[in-house]
Amino acid sequence: MKDIRVLIIDDEEVIREGVQRALRGRGYNVAKAENGEKGIEMLQEDDYKIVLLDLMMPGIDGFGVLEWIKENRPAIEVVVITGFATVSKAVSAMKQGAFDFVGKPFTPDYIRIVVGRATERIQLEEEAKRLREEHSLSLTAIENEQSRLKTVFGCMVEAVVITDKQSIVVHHNPAAIKILEIQTDPFIGKLFSHSILDDSASSMVQQAMEKSVVVTRDFPPGAISRKYLRAHCAPVTAENGKVIGSVTVFEDISTHKEIDRMKSDFVAMVAHELKSPLASIEQMIYALQVGCKYEAEQACNKMHTRMTIRTKDLLQMIDNLLNLSKMESGTVEFQLEPVRGHEILDTILDIISHQTESRQIELSYEPCEEDWIFNVDYDHIRTAFMNIISNAVKYTPDGGKVTISTNVKGGFVNLVVKDSGIGISQDDLPHIFDRFFRVKGKATRHITGSGLGLSLVKEVVEAHQGYIDVQSELEKGTTFTLSFPILMNTTDSPEALDSAAVKT
Ligand code: ADP
pLDDT at 323: 79
Atom from ligand 1 closest to the CA of residue 417: 23
Give the mean pLDDT of 48-68.
Answer: 93
Mean pLDDT for the stretch of residues 47-76: 93
- Give the CA distances from residue 504 to residues 348, 382, 390, in Å, rounded to whole numbers and listed in that order: 10, 11, 19
445 in helix, strand or coil? coil
Q: What number does the ligand 1 atom closest to the CA of 456 have?
A: 6
Distance CA 424, CA 480 (A): 12
Of the pLDDT bands very low, low, confident and very high (cuts 50, 70, 90), residue 84 is low
Q: Write out pLDDT tens, residues 248-265.
A: 999 999 999 888 887 777
**Backbone dihedral region for residue 399 (phi beyond 0: left; psi -120 to 50: alpha; all else: beta):** left
CATH 3.30.70.2190 fits 336-499, yes or no: no
This model's pTM is above 0.85: no
Q: Say what the pLDDT of residue 276 is.
A: 72
Number of Cβ within a 10 Å radius of residue 131: 10
Testing ligand 1's pocket by substitution, the residue of 391, 403, 459 carrying the most ligand atoms inside 8 A of its CB is: 391
Distance between Cα 419 and ligand 1 center (Å): 12
Task: Kindly indicate the confidence band of residue 8, based on its pLDDT and cuts at 50, 70 and 90.
Answer: very high
Q: Is 317 in the pocket of ligand 1 (CB under 6 A)?
A: no
In this prediction, residue 364 carries a pLDDT of: 97
Task: Please check whether the domain covering 156-252 is classified as CATH 3.30.450.20.
Answer: yes
Q: Is the CB of 334 under 6 A from ligand 1?
A: no
- Averaged pLDDT score across all residues of the chain: 89
Report d(CA 17, CA 306) in Å as an integer: 125
Q: Is 451 in the pocket of ligand 1 (CB under 6 A)?
A: yes
Q: Is the pLDDT of residue 501 over 60?
A: no
Alpha-carbon span 166 to 150, nearest angstrom: 24
Please give the pLDDT value at position 300.
Answer: 79
Rounded average pLDDT over 219-248: 94
Task: Please tell me the least confidently modeled range out of 41-50, 90-99, 309-318.
Answer: 309-318
Which atom of ligand 1 is least distant from the CA of 480?
23
Residue pLDDT, tens place only, 265-304? 777 777 776 777 788 788 888 887 776 666 677 777 888 8
421-439 pLDDT tens trace: 999 999 999 999 987 788 9
Q: Is 452 in the pocket of ligand 1 (CB under 6 A)?
A: yes
Q: What percent of the chain has pLDDT over 90?
A: 65
Return the pLDDT at 49. 94
Closest Cα partner for 469 from 500, 433, 499?
Answer: 433
Average pLDDT of the segment spanning 188-214: 94
Residue of 321, 395, 446, 455 to test ligand 1 pocket, by largest number of atoms within 8 Å of CB: 395
33 lines ligand 1 (CB under 6 A): no
Selection from 316-325, 436-445, 475-484 with the highest mean pLDDT:
475-484
Domain 5-130 in CATH 3.40.50.2300? The answer is yes
Sequence ranges of the domains in the chain: 5-130, 156-252, 256-329, 336-499
Residue 324 in contact with ligand 1 by CB distance below 6 A = no
Range with the poorest average pLDDT among 90-99, 227-236, 263-272: 263-272
Amino acid 325: pLDDT: 76
In which band, very low, low, confident or very high, does the pLDDT at 209 lie, cut at 50, 70 and 90?
very high
Residue 504: the pLDDT is 39
Query: Once rounded to an integer, what is the mean pLDDT over residues 6-13?
Result: 94
Half-sphere exposure of 188 (CA within 13 A, CB side): 7
Whether the pLDDT of residue 246 is over 70: the answer is yes
Which of 139, 137, 186, 141 has the alpha carbon at shortest distance from 161? 186
Over 90: is that where the pLDDT of 215 sits? yes
- Percentage, residues of the chain above pLDDT 70: 94
Contacts of 169 (CB under 8 A, 6+ apart): 161, 162, 163, 187, 188, 189, 190, 191, 192, 195
Find, among 190, 23, 241, the residue nearest to 118 by Cα. 23
Residue nearest to atom 4 of ligand 1 (CA): 449
- Quick one: pLDDT at residue 207? 96
Residues written for the chain: 504
Q: Is the CB of 458 under 6 A from ligand 1?
A: no
Cross-strand partners of 268: none
> For ligand 1, is residue 8 a contact (CB within 6 Å)?
no
Q: How far is the CA of 466 from the centre of ligand 1 (A)?
A: 20
Q: What is the mean pLDDT of residues 450-461?
A: 89
pLDDT at 186: 86
Collapsing DSSP states into helix, strand and coil, what is residue 30? Answer: strand
Q: How does pLDDT run across 361-409, given as a tens digit for each residue?
A: 999 999 999 889 999 999 899 989 999 999 999 999 999 999 999 999 9
Task: Select from 272, 428, 439, 469 the residue to mutate for testing ligand 1; criterion: most ligand atoms less than 8 Å from CB.
Answer: 439
CB of 422 shorter than 6 A to ligand 1: yes
**pLDDT tier at 451, thresholds 50, 70, 90:** confident
pLDDT at 120: 94
Measure 432 CA to ligand 1 centroid, in angstroms. 7
Nearest protein CA to atom 2 of ligand 1, as residue: 449
Most confident stretch, 5-9, 184-188, 286-290, 349-353: 5-9
pLDDT of 264: 78
- When mean pLDDT is compared across 139-143, 293-297, 409-413, the lowest value belongs to 293-297
Residue 478 Cβ contacting ligand 1 at under 6 Å: yes
pLDDT over threshold 90, residue 465: yes
